[in-house]
Structure 1
Amino acid sequence: MLNKVSLEDILFLDIETVPESASFTELDEVRQALWDQKSQYKRGEGISAEEYYENAGIWAEFGKIICISVGYFHFKGSRRQFRVTTFHGEEKKLLQEFRNLLTTHFRPQKFLLCAHNGKEFDFPYIARRMIVHHIPLPDKLNLFGKKPWEVPHLDTMELWKFGDYKHYTSLKLLTHVLGIPSPKEDIDGSMVRQVYYEDNNLDRIIEYCERDVITVAQVILRLKNEPLLEEEEVLKV
């Protein structure tokens, strides 16, 4: 079925998230108590809610999106180009900008959203944060009443599972297995909070996020048995 999907009909994306506040102490008492309850099942023995707060970015109820990077293929004759851009800044603004993209250029039914582990993380996280900010959900993220085959989402991790529900594979491992050249990584996901709040270096995070978008596109190319992107085929706009 994947071979029937045109590369030009896919919007590749990745998000980066951080805790809603720089530290646990900045939360009011109600938020602190709710975080304590929410994170209890994940914390190890003897780890307090405050100590574990650096991980709050993985939950949409206690985190926020600081950038959404997107990429799409453009063909002109035999020339192939992969264009990448990033929405960043204040969360409500970047979500509105991303929504505008989905409701204009990528509104037709044929278009699909694609991310690695997107069905469990990126897509629901974006939808939840839009609801928090009173932003109407675009059709591509509003799954209510949709049958499984009507959901316009591709997930490279799910594609690699081949029906094996218990199988988790990181994007880094998948690219290694598939022989996809891995760009030199300046940071990894565990460092995003520090780079954002302590180093105040959003540009560094955006670069990391855009690299992941390109990598997801490379995985789809491998799964479709098509040539990988060359460096000169990637255009940042």
Structure 2
Amino acid sequence: MLNKINLENILFLDIETVPEEEHFQGLSEEKKELWEQKSQYQRKDEYTAEEFYERAGIWAEFGKIICISVGYFHLKGDIRSFRTTSFHGDEIQLLKEFKNLLNGHFSAPKKLLCGHNAKEFDFPYIARRMIIHGIELPYKLNLFGKKPWEVPHLDTMELWKFGDYKHFTSLKLLANILGIPSPKQDIDGSMVREVFYKEKDLDRIITYCELDVITTAQVFLRLRGDELLNDNEIKKV
């Protein structure tokens, strides 16, 4: 079935998130209490709510998006290219720009969104942050009333599960076992908060995010049995 999908109809994406405030003390007293309640089962007795706050970026209620990177295929005869670009900076602005992309170029029913573990993280996170900021959801993220087969989302981790609901495989591991060359990344997800708040190096995060988009596309190609992208086929726009 994957081979029946036109690659040009897929928008691959990845997001990077951080806690909404650099420090726990930057939260209002009410938000501190809500964070303590939200995180109590994850942190148990090992950490205080303040110590655990460095992980707040994984929850849309306590985090924010600092980068959305996307990639898409362009096919012209036998020539194939994969183009990447990123929306970054102010969260409201990047969400609006991403929405404009979806509404302008990926609104047709045949268009699909694809990410790794995106059904559990990226797609709902983006939708929640849009609602928090009063941004009307684009059709591709508005799942209210849709039947499962009507949801225009693909997930490379879900595809790898083959129906096994308990199985989690990271993008890095999946790329390794499928023989996909590992991109030269100088950070990983656990470092994004520090790079953003302490080093203030957003460009470094954007590069990391775009490399994950490329890797996700490579995984999808392998799942289809297609040839992997070579460096000459990958272009930043």
| TM interval, short-chain normalised | over 0.9
TM normalised by structure 2 equals: 0.99
TM normalised by structure 1 equals: 0.99
Aligned to 1:175: 175
Secondary structure at the residue paired with 2:154? Answer: strand
Whole-angstrom CA distance in 2 between matches of 1:206 and 1:126: 17
Aligned to 2:18: 18
Q: Does 1:30 align with 2:39?
A: no
Aligned to 1:145: 145
Aligned to 1:66: 66
Whole-angstrom CA distance in 2 between matches of 1:15 and 1:59: 13
> Which one-letter code corresponds to 1:141 in the other structure?
L
Unaligned runs of 5+ in 2: none
Q: Does 1:98 align with 2:98?
A: yes
CA drift at 1:42? 0.4
1:19-64 Cα distance to aligned partner (Å, 9 max, x none):
0000000111000000000000100423100000000000000000
1:162-181 Cα distance to aligned partner (Å, 9 max, x none):
00000000000000110100
Q: Does 1:76 align with 2:76?
A: yes
Whole-angstrom CA distance in 2 between matches of 1:127 and 1:182: 30
1:144-200 Cα distance to aligned partner (Å, 9 max, x none):
111111000000000000000000000000001101000122100000000000000
Aligned residues: 237
Q: Does 1:50 align with 2:41?
A: no
Aligned to 1:202: 202
Aligned to 2:233: 233
Tell me which stretches of 4 or more aligned residues in structure 1 moved more than 4 Å: none
Aligned to 1:215: 215
> Which one-letter code corresponds to 1:182 in the other structure?
S
Secondary structure at the residue paired with 2:209? Answer: helix
> Which one-letter code corresponds to 2:208 in the other structure?
Y
Whole-angstrom CA distance in 2 between matches of 1:44 and 1:231: 45
CA drift at 1:109? 0.5
Whole-angstrom CA distance in 2 between matches of 1:45 and 1:80: 53
> Which one-letter code corresponds to 2:129 in the other structure?
R
CA drift at 1:2? 1.2
1:196-217 Cα distance to aligned partner (Å, 9 max, x none):
0000000000000000000000
Identity of aligned residues (%): 71
> Which one-letter code corresponds to 2:56 in the other structure?
A
Whole-angstrom CA distance in 2 between matches of 1:26 and 1:35: 12
Higher normalized helix content (fraction of residues): 2
| Higher mean C-alpha deviation, range 177-186 or range 151-160 | 177-186
Whole-angstrom CA distance in 1 between matches of 2:74 and 2:160: 25
1:112-168 Cα distance to aligned partner (Å, 9 max, x none):
000000000000000000001110000100001111110000000000000000000
Whole-angstrom CA distance in 2 between matches of 1:2 and 1:148: 17
